[in-house]
Amino acid sequence: MNGLMMQYPLTTNTIVEYGNRVFPHREIVTKLPNGAWHRYTYADMHTRTKKLAAALVRKLGVQPGDRVATFAFNGYQHLELYYAIPGIGAVCHTLNIRLAPDQLAYIANHAEDQVVFVDAPLLPLFEKIAPHVPGLRHCVLINAPAGVTTTLPGVVHYEDLIGDGSPDFAWPDLDENAACGLCYTSGTTGEPKGALYSHRSTYLHALTIMTPNAASVSSADTALLIVPQFHVMAWGFPFMCMLAGANMVMPGLHLQPAAIIDMLQRERVTVANGVPTIWLGVYEAMKQNPPAEKLSLRHYMVGGSALPASLMAAFEKDFDLEGLHAWGMTETSPLGTVARLQPVHAALPSDERLRIRATQGVEMPGVEVRVVGEDGTVVPRDGKTVGEIQVRGAWVIGGYYKSDNREAFTADGWFRTGDVGTLDPLGYMQITDRTKDLIKSGGEWISSVALESALMAHPQVKEATVIAIPHEKWIERPLACVVFAEGASVPDDELRRFLSPQFAVHQLPDVFVPVAEIPKTSVGKFDKKAVRRLYAAGKLGK
Ligand code: AMP
């Protein structure tokens, strides 16, 4: 139609070009695996990203639409990949390094990854996976010493690859609806599922989380990106920061509380993100060794699991630091809601204000949330009526990657989160439970069903069920209840050894409680609600 706006595709290329034009002197600071610091400007990053993009096309033969995988910590090279891969029309597929090797092999095969960028400290781990991914053509090593020996196929060093590129590379024209990033979630039943983000969804998500009602980030800020780049694109911070002109601090593998506190101080960080386990650790460390000066941190953003109100209150009381609670999922790019107070809350008593800030918060513009009861009708926003949380929006997936499975979608196209909770009259969401039979420990999923099946394969185990129990540091941990075969008993260590080939170490239950029987529902399924009640009543334990 005449007279309408020009077509200006919202792509990640426009983000990196904007950063270079407007904020060329802003900085990206990385703590390398060996503890040394690397720092350079947006302008330097832009030049190297162009060279990398050229090399991806000309040296590695990457085609538009191809998935290019990363297996890496947060760092400047990973950031360059975040822009170079989508910049040529390919898809940046971040592999979650914390998953079990067989899950990773499944994911890399499902995504048909042919090229992977591997961070040197993760080489031994990736060498276990690569033989099970027959399509791999090139493995590019990041941070690896020149003479490193490895069993990986098609090895190239990252700096050699970039050295072959040209800074004059011209970005191709891209459709804003083309795919740009791919993350798999293990937070579902069955095999991991892929969430494929578009350029447009990535751009709109980044722009929205930058706004004052959300993360509120500008060129006056320095952001510490604690959330790994292999977890839902580091919550979109690499894109948001570049649009805002914020300095980015990349911690690499240095995620211990003392290292984080050092980075917060040294770089005068003003905003940061992370799961509750990280902030619990930082709080404990600051309690033991209080910083001499108040930190520059304006707020620390928390999501992935519920931010305990007690932690928020303690940080505020002891260190005058503000927590900002947000909720989201791999399927929602991830940020969907954020809990900030509104003027209407100004006169409320402080404990009530804290309670509201500890909810999961309200929808960001671009996302809609509703709660649906068991009968399929939308329940009132009364803060009381519980139902399933469903969402739709500009950065919510419309289906899983290469999957016809529509179980997670309603007939009218909303995404079923598997979270259960309420909305109050002002739209503040409170998550009270989840329907997914999963445990979220330190920000990573553990499938209780997978643990149960694996345990029941042990010859001395008749029945087993696994529930999530609250944990101070990890927020949740798995607890296994086991019915042993007549007269048998198996030590915990042996059960852990038996499970370990199929699970990552952090996924193994800490405790196996022997029980005479497991409560069942009327249709003979394990009644996990009853098991949880037994636990709450102190009737399970050793
Ligand atoms: P993931 O896809 O791994 O990011 O996990 C998303 C899930 O993590 C959600 O469906 C929730 O179950 C949980 N989650 C994320 N953020 C929060 C939060 N702020 N409070 C409670 N649960 C959360």
CATH of the domain at 69: 3.40.50.12780
Res 524: pLDDT: 84
The parent domain of residue 95 ranges over: 12-27+42-198
Q: How far is the CA of 419 from the centre of ligand 1 (A)?
A: 8
Q: Dihedrals φ, ψ of 90, to 5°?
A: -90, 180
Domain annotation covers residue 220: no
Burial string for 23-36 (b: 16+ CB within 10 Å, else e) reads beebbbbbbbbeee
Which residue's alpha carbon is nearest to atom 15 within ligand 1?
Answer: 304
Q: Using a 6 Å cutoff on CB, does residue 417 contact ligand 1? A: yes
Alpha carbons 297 and 374: distance in angstroms, whole number: 43
- Just list the catalytic residues: 185, 331, 440, 445
Q: How far is the CA of 81 from the centre of ligand 1 (A)?
A: 26
With the C-alpha atoms ordered 12, 17, 22, 28, is the resulting torsion angle positive or negative?
Answer: positive
Domain annotation covers residue 379: no
Alpha carbons 60 and 46: distance in angstroms, whole number: 20
Which residue's alpha carbon is nearest to atom 7 within ligand 1?
Answer: 329
| Nearest Cα to Cα of residue 482 among 504, 511, 502, 505 | 511
Q: Using a 6 Å cutoff on CB, does residue 434 contact ligand 1? A: yes
Domain annotation covers residue 89: yes
Residue 84, helix vs strand vs coil: helix
Q: Using a 6 Å cutoff on CB, does residue 114 contact ligand 1? A: no
Res 542: pLDDT: 62
Beta bridge partners of 182: 93, 196
With the C-alpha atoms ordered 136, 186, 456, 524, is the resulting torsion angle positive or negative?
Answer: negative
Domain annotation covers residue 365: no
Q: Which two tokens stand for residue 336?
A: 């969907």
Q: Using a 6 Å cutoff on CB, does residue 503 contact ligand 1? A: no
Res 340: pLDDT: 98
Q: Using a 6 Å cutoff on CB, does residue 188 contact ligand 1? A: no
Domain boundary among 198, 228, 263: 198
Domain annotation covers residue 77: yes
Q: What is the amino acid identity at position 201?
A: S
Q: What is the amino acid identity at position 214?
A: A
| Nearest Cα to Cα of residue 180 among 334, 65, 14 | 65
Ligand 1 atom having least distance to the Cα of 185: 2
Which residue's alpha carbon is nearest to atom 5 within ligand 1?
Answer: 329
Contact partners, residue 96, CB within 8 Å, separation at least 6: 104, 183, 184, 186, 228, 230, 231, 444
Q: Using a 6 Å cutoff on CB, does residue 99 contact ligand 1? A: no
Domain boundary among 178, 198, 218: 198
Q: How far is the CA of 303 from the centre of ligand 1 (A)?
A: 7
Q: How far is the CA of 149 from the centre of ligand 1 (A)?
A: 39
Q: Using a 6 Å cutoff on CB, does residue 419 contact ligand 1? A: yes
Q: Using a 6 Å cutoff on CB, does residue 480 contact ligand 1? A: no
Domain annotation covers residue 475: yes
Q: With helix as H, strand as E and coil as C, how does 282-310 read?
A: HHHHHHHCCCCCCCCCCEEEECCCCCCHH
Which residue's alpha carbon is nearest to atom 16 within ligand 1?
Answer: 304
Residue 76, helix vs strand vs coil: helix
Which residue's alpha carbon is nearest to atom 9 within ligand 1?
Answer: 329
Domain annotation covers residue 483: yes
How far does Cα 378 stand from its chain's mean position? 29
Strand positions, DSSP E, 227-333: 247-250, 271-274, 299-302, 322-328
The CATH number of the domain where 468 resides is what?
Answer: 3.30.300.30
Q: How far is the CA of 490 from the centre of ligand 1 (A)?
A: 34
Q: Using a 6 Å cutoff on CB, does residue 180 contact ligand 1? A: no
Alpha carbons 231 and 214: distance in angstroms, whole number: 19
Q: Using a 6 Å cutoff on CB, does residue 329 contact ligand 1? A: yes
Q: Which H or E run contains 155?
A: strand 155-157
Ligand 1 atom having least distance to the Cα of 331: 2
Q: How far is the CA of 327 from the centre of ligand 1 (A)?
A: 6
Sheet arrangement for strand 155-157: 155-157, 138-142, 115-119, 67-71, 91-94, 179-185, 193-198
Q: How far is the CA of 421 from the centre of ligand 1 (A)?
A: 12
Q: Which of 325, 359, 415, 419 to mutate to test the pocket of ligand 1 (most atoms within 8 A of CB)?
A: 419
Q: Using a 6 Å cutoff on CB, does residue 420 contact ligand 1? A: no
Q: Is 511 exposed, middle or buried (0-12, 13-18, 19+ CB in 10 A)?
A: middle
Domain boundary among 166, 198, 230: 198
Beta bridge partners of 138: 115
| Domain count along the chain | 2
Residue ranges of the chain with pLDDT lower than 50?
none
| Nearest Cα to Cα of residue 168 among 47, 272, 253 | 47
Ligand 1 atom having least distance to the Cα of 443: 3
Q: How far is the CA of 443 from the centre of ligand 1 (A)?
A: 8
Q: Which of 312, 390, 396, 440 to mutate to test the pocket of ligand 1 (most atoms within 8 A of CB)?
A: 440
Res 541: pLDDT: 72
Domain annotation covers residue 486: yes
